Amino acid sequence: MKDQLIPKATAKRLPLYYRYLKTLYASGKRKVSSTELSDALKVDSATIRRDFSYFGELGKRGYGYDVENLMNFFAKTLNEDVLTHVALIGVGHLGHALLRYRFQRSESIRISAAFDVKEDLVGRILEGVPVYSAEEMVQQIKEQQIDVAILTVPEHVAQQNADLLVKAGIRGIMNFTPVRLDLPGYVKVQNVDLTNEMQTLIYFLNNYPAETDGTETEDNGTAVTE
């Protein structure tokens, strides 16, 4: 890999590439071109080539990309060979859904502990995951050496819980609350606001002409699909 920080837009597409390469490899396909990837993933082929170029020479001109080599490269890049333990904070309706989901597309991500304030949930095993009292959150996260958390609590306690996660040593938070958290710069936060995404989709439907190729466009005019 080249010694540089790749753009966030590229980083967001890496799991997309990896999952599709796994599908190709399982089907017996051994080489693929950027055009074939573009047709399948609805990402402009120039964008794909640019994304790959950040990591050096991954393919050969006139040949394309070796599916197995590229799949293994992105697996290593995405730390698929290392199991990441995740804490779930808040076991409401969305929390339950995430426990059932179990990050099925990745064998390297596992929700290992869940936390809630409801007494009828504490002490239970849900979908194979133990549910602890919120009062035990800092201690358990430290003891289990968990680095990543999912936050699905009510918005009025979102910041409070996020502060406790920082105290526990969490370095990354997937935030499903509408609150924009105020945290130290070293803590990475991925905001997932489902209402915002739906409102954006409806706005696009009402204000933009239908795309002919299923792709979107970045600010610089490059076609992409997130």
**Is 62 flagged in the annotation as binding?**
no
**Is 94 flagged in the annotation as binding?**
yes
**Is 169 flagged in the annotation as binding?**
no
**pTM (global) more than 0.85:** no
Q: Where are the domains positioned within the chain?
A: 8-77, 84-196
80-138 tens-digit pLDDT: 878 899 999 999 999 999 999 877 667 788 999 999 999 999 999 999 999 999 999 99
**Is 185 flagged in the annotation as binding?**
no
Q: Which residues contact 13 (CB under 8 A, 6 or more apart)?
A: 43, 47, 51, 224, 226
Q: CATH number of the domain at 84-196, out of 3.40.50.2020, 3.30.300.30, 3.40.50.720, 3.40.50.20?
A: 3.40.50.720
181-217 tens-digit pLDDT: 999 999 999 999 888 889 888 988 888 876 544 444 4
Asked if domains 8-77 and 84-196 share a fold, the reply is: no
Domain 8-77 listed as CATH 1.10.10.10: yes
80-95 burial, b at 16+ Cβ within 10 Å, e below that, comes to beeebebbbbbbeebb
